[in-house]
Structure 1
Amino acid sequence: MFFVSLTYRVPLEEVEPHMAGHMEWLKKYYDAGVFMASGRKVPRTGGVIFARGERAVLEACLAEDPFAIHKLADCEIVEFSVSTAIPGMEALKS
């Protein structure tokens, strides 16, 4: 399992024009089963993604993000192993 932290490198006004493409990119990898959850940071300085699979596959997916292509955000990948989850979230352990 992976926790991906995106941090904007540019003002939000420069990010907004690429948001629709970013959302389409997210949907592509939700549909592929790579992404499990995502959302904006509060305050809005970037976003987070929970992902699964192989690191090399995830890195290839992240390289396709419009935010990466246009150098709008930095990306940090943290790999972790889920050992405990609340009822209903057992899929995180796989």
Structure 2
Amino acid sequence: MIHVLTLTYLTPRETVVAHMAEHKAWLREHADQGRILLSGPRPEGGAVIVTADLDDAQVRELIESDPWHKLGIASYEQLAFEGRNASPGVITAAEPDDSVLLINVATTDDAAASVAALARAVEHVSVTADGFRGSRLLTSVDGDAIVNLAAWTDRERFDAIFEDPEFMRRYEAFAETTTGAKYRLYRTSRVITPGR
């Protein structure tokens, strides 16, 4: 389950600020370990943390390890939900799993035509393929290349799309719009978050 943790300050602002460095170090440690996906202050005061896919015991351990919790600076309100959909590139698993990220780079003389053709292939995959988690199509600033970032549950399900004749027809139509294309599959090796 993904957990949204809402922090409410229980102490004066000076106390919050005095212990900010400890709390930020805690946030970064858990973000780098894949347990925290997002965090930040709320305009009306307090803060929000969005966790990776953690069970209740893991979330309780996470909260209890926060210096702000230990010092009684903030209380935590918890909301859990099943994270079924995520933007490609967002990895919700706290521990490495079998998921793969496709990075397909294609050079082109007509980025708009290449994106449109690739979108037709990916849209087919989005309604037919098991294990597909989503795709993001990017165009280079110079307009001479496009990139497809696509997330998959595992390599076997990714490989299965090449057995689908309709996908292959659409992918070949995309290839005709490019001057070259190459893809690779990747797994997360390490996460490094901003140190500020």
Task: Report the 3-state secondary structure (helix = DSSP H, G, I; strand = E; otherwise coil) of the residue aligned with 2:57.
Answer: helix
Give the whole-Å Cα distance in 1 for the aligned partners of 2:90 and 2:32: 20
Counterpart amino acid of residue 28 in structure 1: E
Matches for 1:1-94 after TM superposition, within 5 Å: 1-43=2-44, 45-52=45-52, 53-85=54-86, 87-88=87-88, 91=91
Give the whole-Å Cα distance in 2 for the aligned partners of 1:84 and 1:68: 30
Aligned residues: 92
Higher relative contact order (CA 8 A, sep 6+): 1
Could you tell me which runs of 5 or more consecutive residues in structure 1 were left unpaired when the two chains were aligned. none
Give the whole-Å Cα distance in 2 for the aligned partners of 1:89 and 1:76: 28
Q: Kindly, what percent of the aligned residue pairs are identical?
A: 28
TM-score (ref. length: structure 2):
0.43
Task: Report the 3-state secondary structure (helix = DSSP H, G, I; strand = E; otherwise coil) of the residue aligned with 2:19.
Answer: helix
Task: Report the 3-state secondary structure (helix = DSSP H, G, I; strand = E; otherwise coil) of the residue aligned with 2:40.
Answer: strand
TM-score (ref. length: structure 1):
0.85
* Counterparts in 2 of 1:30 and 1:75: CA distance versus 1, 3 Å: same
Q: RMSD of the alignment, in Å? A: 2.0
How far the C-alpha of 1:51 sits from its partner, in A, is 0.2
Give the whole-Å Cα distance in 1 for the aligned partners of 2:34 and 2:88: 18
* Counterparts in 2 of 1:28 and 1:90: CA distance versus 1, 3 Å: closer
Q: Which has the larger radius of gyration?
A: 2
Could you tell me which runs of 5 or more consecutive residues in structure 2 were left unpaired when the two chains were aligned. 93-132, 134-152, 154-196
Give the whole-Å Cα distance in 2 for the aligned partners of 1:2 and 1:58: 8
How far the C-alpha of 1:61 sits from its partner, in A, is 1.3
